[in-house]
Amino acid sequence: MTAASIAEVTPNTYPFTLTEDQEQLRDAIRKFAAREIAPHIMRWDEASEFPSAAVKQLGEMGLLGIIFPAEYGGSGMGYVDYMLAIEELSAVDGSIGIIVAAHSSLCTNHIFLAGSEEQRRKYVPRLASGEWLGAWGLTEPGSGSDASAARTMATRTGQGWLLNGTKTFITNGSHANVAVVIAVTDRSQGTHGLSAFLVEKGTPGFRPGRKENKLGLRASDTSELIFEDCVIPEENLIGKLGEGFIDAMRILDGGRISIAALSLGIARGALDASLKYVKERRQFGKAIAEFQGIQWKLADMATELDAARLLTQRAAVLKDAGQRVTRESSMAKLYASEVAVRICDEAVQLHGGYGFIKDYPAEKFYRDVKLCTIGEGTSEIQRMVIAREILKVHPSRG
């Protein structure tokens, strides 16, 4: 069984009912993934090749603007549809899933939620259609979980703003046409002194830096963004001055739903590959699927996957209802990512020696999945967020 054959596995049964439109969306994505993604997975992975043509096709299908209204060039769907799309793509190749997630729920969504109407009209249709690709820059070499340690500085000038600094681990960084960049505008105010800016490709003083050589998700571009006396016009400030971090945290509420969905997809791909393998692999005169020890592993994998999907669906449903989902999205991201790591680990174990070689998809799922417990807030940060949220509901009575 090769990596390319994973799209041929029997469709997964969802623990919740899909609408007719959602079934059509799922089926369309599965057919696309089988035809346009699966045959190229290992070549993209080995060469760290960005799948430009496939991303363009996703834009033409409306999947890069799935959560945005039609009046801005989007598909007018919701987060439940979005999580479904990310899962389906990631079940074949997590690199595609994270490219779409960073473009849609981080960059484009920041512009849509915090930008002016003029900014929305200018950028969202281009991004939603796939004409442009977006990136989102928060992390720096010295500030990951601690955003207040950011050093990228935006200084006001007569022409607008002068941007200096470096962002790192930026998905789509080398290929993006526009990036949303969080920079310090008043160091004395901590996180309340951070603001967001739109920086277009080709702006003097802005260039992508080193492209990272990664463990997994290798077809996804992860690189530095470097700013050296980069002049940003005043109208490229997104949202209010000093509220870039506040807006970024709102964006991450939705972004964590997408990482939960990415986790679900990778885990489901690993489980489906395992189910196929254990039915075919024979030892001691019978398929290893007939051994109770194997069956129990599969039962645990499937149960945890469904539980993770339901947590993710809850967050998506509440997000579609316009509710604040900080707690729910963090729970979904935390649980789904850690479950996905366990499932992919078991998938390698079930494949035995074949799980350790590139002729079978288990090893790639295993490499790809670990990022899910790190990106858009580590598991440790998610636990801090969840604890803070539940303590608000149950304050101390000293």
Q: Has 71 been annotated as catalytic? A: no
Instruction: Indicate which residue of 87, 290, 376, 380 is catalytic.
Output: 376
Cβ-Cβ contacts under 8 Å for 355 (sequence gap 6 or more):
347, 348, 349, 362, 363, 366
Q: Are 262 and 206 in contact (CB under 8 A)?
A: no
CA distance 360 to 381: 33
Closest CA to 162 of 232, 76, 112, 235: 232
**Residue 283 bridge partners (DSSP):** 286
The helix/strand/coil state of 47 is helix
| Structural contact between residues 140 and 215, judged by C-beta atoms closer than 8 angstroms | no
The 3-class SS string of 197-261 reads EEEECCCCCEEEEEECCCCCCCCCCEEEEEEEEEEECHHHEECCCCEHHHHHHHHHHHHHHHHHH
User: What 3-state DSSP class applies to 10?
Assistant: coil
Confirm if 304 and 310 have CB atoms less than 8 A apart. Answer: no
Residue whose C-alpha is closest to residue 208's, from 133, 268, 149, 275 = 133
Three-state secondary-structure class, residue 99: helix
* Residues designated as active site: 376
